[in-house]
Chains A and B, each alone.
Chain A
Amino acid sequence: MVKIHPSEITPEHIYLRRREFMKGIGALTLGALTLAACGGNVPVAELNENELFPPPEANGKTDELGNPVNSYTEITTYNNFYEFSMDKSSVASLAKDFKTSPWQVQVGGLVNKPKTYDLDKILKFEQQERIYRLRCVEGWSMVIPWQGFTLASLLKEVEPTSDAKYVRFETLYDPAQMPEQKDKYFAWPYVEGLRLDEALHDLTILATGLYGQSLPPQDGAPVRLVVPWKYGFKSIKSIVKIDLVSEMPVSLWMDASPNEYGFYANVNPQVPHPRWSQATERRIGELSRQETLMFNGYEEEVASLYAGMDLKENY
């Protein structure tokens, strides 16, 4: 039998329905029983779809510390994406019609060669799988098999000038598609920032996919930042603008609540948060808490970026 990659042939409506179908083992069993009970009335295609298109698979099964990757269902049904909803389990359904094509990312500011990238140009950067831990500031975490490319490779193309010290990112502003942007509680659009050396670090990627497929809307399609040693909110989704700047950008969360969210937002079990435990975390799918690692376990790679800095001051 010829092996066919799921993403090549699964029509989107089936693809979405299958995910609903996979919501829980209980639901799956119940579904199977119902189908079995229906006997002759079962449309054969219904059963076959599920067999033909198993959940997508990642190439790697664990991160470098041996932690198993979270399931596709977990990664795509529990999302913090306030542009769509504050309820993590509602984002997937509210974002399902989000238009990610055509899509452009404007890269400019203090660069020699400002450039606007169409999505297909972004996908031409050499894509590689990176299995990263994602630690949310809310005290939960996942292990996610991303595909993407280093931000450094993109920044090299536009040639930052010597005045460029920081990188500022912006999410799409489109209240018609992102209903919560009508709410003026936050200063939309979502803005994030990195110091230039953080942005150029090899661990910092622009992700375009996960589990071997293009990013689903709820996970920040079509292109998002992933900075694995920082709290999840730094990894801005659905990026349309990247600017090189000389001053430290003010992120949406710094603006909303400056005493809770700093510019650096490095994962740090020593710096408490008024609401959530930062000393421990719950890996989604696991029952007991585990200790949070300094820089989310990437201390060896990134600690030198912050040599001599007081990380309690610069939280």
Chain B
Amino acid sequence: MELSSQQPTVQKQGFGIPLLKFWQNHFRLWVHIGALLPLGVLVWMFFTGNLTVNPIQAASQRTGDIALVFLLLSLACTPAASILGIKEAIRYRRTLGLYAFFYAALHFLIFVGLDYTFQWDLIWDTLVEKRFIMLGFSAGLILLALAVTSFDWWKKRLRKNWKRLHRLVYLAGGLVVLHYFWAVKAGIQLPLLALWVLLALLLIRIPTVKEILIDARYKLTRFFRS
């Protein structure tokens, strides 16, 4: 506000403020655009032949990466609200979680449909033979249950149990990161990064850690205000 009073040009107000309002009013829209953008890029790369000469494997790996990112983003909403004080973040927790499920579902469908062309005997063999597939599959089932019960109707119906059920997201996070570790051949930097982020997001949920961080935030804001 101070900035705009320093530069009281009519044109700037006429252009800038509606844009800001549009941004604020339609933030949910931007979240959707941002969440669907990786899919758009992937599809575009797929059809322009930019997804390596082994596009099915590349698409499979990328949808997995994207799903993990959204899962972590969704897990970041609660601490963003409680610790950083960004209350609005909580409104996007479900949306981001649903996008995590959406990309995980794509990841699964690519594996089953494109990679193994619905040859169920082969798919079953890999499921029981490869521990990392079993882990990913388990995590996918958890995300499916959470996605299905994510709507208000279920929330009302399940009451206390809803919260209990949705705590399974932490387990899903752990399973996904381990799935990632076991899926890579070498170069564990990215799974390791995901592990640190997940651990940090879990750690700041511990009440005492959370209180220390909230306290630190108050002290910081007071320091900057004085």
* Chain A interfacial positions (CB closer than 8 Å to B): 23-27, 73-74, 77-78, 82, 86, 88-89, 138, 140, 185-186, 256, 272, 274-275, 277, 279-280, 282, 284-285, 287-289
Contact = CB atoms under 8 A, between A and B. Distances in A.
Interface of B: 47-50, 52-54, 56-57, 114-117, 119, 122, 125-126, 129-132, 182-183, 185-187
18 contacts: A26-B48, A74-B53, A77-B52, A77-B53, A86-B185, A89-B52, A140-B57, A186-B186, A272-B130, A274-B130, A274-B131, A275-B132, A279-B122, A282-B54, A282-B56, A282-B115, A287-B117, A289-B117
B40 to A, nearest CB: 16
Given A82-B186, A185-B186, A185-B187, A284 B115 contact: no
Contacts of B125: 277, 279
Contacts of B115: 282, 289
For B54, B114, B129, the residue with the greatest tally of chain A CB atoms inside 10 Å of its CB is B54
A285 B186 contact: no
A275 B53 contact: no
B48 A284 contact: no
Contacts of A88: 52, 54
A138 B49 CA distance: 21
A277 B47 contact: no
A78 B122 contact: no
A282 B129 CA distance: 19
Contacts of B117: 287-289
B187 A86 contact: yes
B53 A274 contact: no
Given A23-B49, A24-B48, A282-B57, 11 more contacts: A26-B49, A74-B53, A77-B52, A82-B186, A88-B54, A138-B185, A140-B57, A277-B126, A279-B122, A285-B53, A289-B122
Contact of A27 (B49, B53, B130, B132): B49
B49 A275 contact: no
A277 B115 CA distance: 11
Which 6 A-B pairs rank lowest in CB-CB distance, beginning with the nearest?
A: A24-B49, A26-B48, A74-B53, A78-B53, A86-B187, A89-B52
B137 to A, nearest CB: 15
A86 B191 CA distance: 15
Contacts of A77: 52-53
Given A275-B132, A275-B185, A289-B115, A78 B52 contact: yes
Majority secondary structure of chain A interface residues (helix, strand, loop or mixed): loop
Contacts of A24: 48-50
Contacts of A185: 186-187
Nearest to B119: A289
A23 B132 CA distance: 33
For B53, B57, B114, the residue with the greatest tally of chain A CB atoms inside 10 Å of its CB is B53
Given A73-B53, A82-B186, A284-B53, A275 B130 contact: yes
A68 B57 CA distance: 22
A86 B48 contact: no
A256 B57 contact: no
Contacts of B182: 274-275
Contacts of A186: 186
A277 B186 contact: no
A74 B129 CA distance: 30
A146 to B, nearest CB: 18
Contacts of A26: 47-49
Nearest to A142: B53
A277 B126 CA distance: 7
Given A86-B186, A279-B125, A280-B122, A274 B52 contact: no
Nearest to B50: A24
A84 B56 CA distance: 23
A23 B48 CA distance: 10
Contacts of B48: 24, 26-27
A89 B53 CA distance: 9
A78 B56 CA distance: 14
B122 A274 contact: no
Nearest to B130: A274
Contacts of A86: 185-187
A42 to B, nearest CB: 22
A289 B53 contact: no
Given A27-B49, A280-B122, A275 B56 contact: no
Contacts of B47: 26
A256 B186 contact: yes
Contacts of A282: 54, 56-57, 115
Contacts of A256: 186
Contacts of A78: 52-54
A81 to B, nearest CB: 13
Nearest to A82: B186
Contacts of A27: 48-50
